[in-house]
Chains A and B, each alone.
Chain A
Amino acid sequence: EAQVTQNPRYLITVTGKKLTVTCSQNMNHEYMSWYRQDPGLGLRQIYYSMNVEVTDKGDVPEGYKVSRKEKRNFPLILESPSPNQTSLYFCASIHTGTQTEAFFGQGTRLTVV
């Protein structure tokens, strides 16, 4: 089954404690992306990757890092989380054949206290 898997689904952490949200896709897609979703602001892109070892900033990259060492994995790293990073995070893997389509993970609800 084609899918994007994020872990964890829920996470409560304290300010300053480094954390990583993992994302894995089994569709051999080249493009992957991270979004955060906040009430009234919709989905905003954090980082994206066009291929292995190729990443670029989205609209709200401050406070986040990513890596793309393998095609299937695209982890999101918060080196020093702050309360304003409390949000719902989504990883997406993007098919770019004749039908451009983003496949989303189930989301990670992060709370930073």
Chain B
Amino acid sequence: SQQGEEDPQALSIQEGENATMNCSYKTSINNLQWYRQNSGRGLVHLILIRSNEREKHSGRLRVTLDTSKKSSSLLITASRAADTASYFCATATNQGAQKLVFGQGTRLTINP
């Protein structure tokens, strides 16, 4: 079953602009994670936010979590062409990390 749903499905912006992607989920979670996937390659973990956290930063990444709305957002500031990729949110429930459930992803294109 799909837990996370990303919005938008595709996003195209100019280099230097900020990119915001959203994720909604349905059930209670232990944590929410964001991953990046370059075309056809394996996913790479970007950042994790726990259910008792509201905001987290890592370099140019900022993640927020609103458990009352069951939603999260990923902000990439000062985008670069190398940020072009698909971004996925994944939720981990109290069942354990082995049950990470991924959304369908947002395809981000940064135009030079």
Contacts and interface: CB of A to CB of B under 8 A. Distances in A.
A45 B96 CA distance: 14
B48 A42 contact: no
SS class, residues of chain A in contact with chain B: strand
A100 B43 contact: no
B100 A106 contact: no
Nearest to A96: B97
Interface string B1-18: 110000000000000000
A42 B102 contact: yes
Given A42-B2, A42-B102, A42-B104, A100 B48 contact: yes
Interface in B72-112: 88, 90, 92, 96-105
Interface of A: 4, 31-33, 35, 40-45, 48-50, 59, 88, 90, 92, 94-96, 99-107, 109
10 nearest CB pairs, A to B = A104-B42, A42-B104, A43-B102, A31-B98, A100-B97, A48-B98, A101-B45, A104-B43, A96-B97, A94-B97
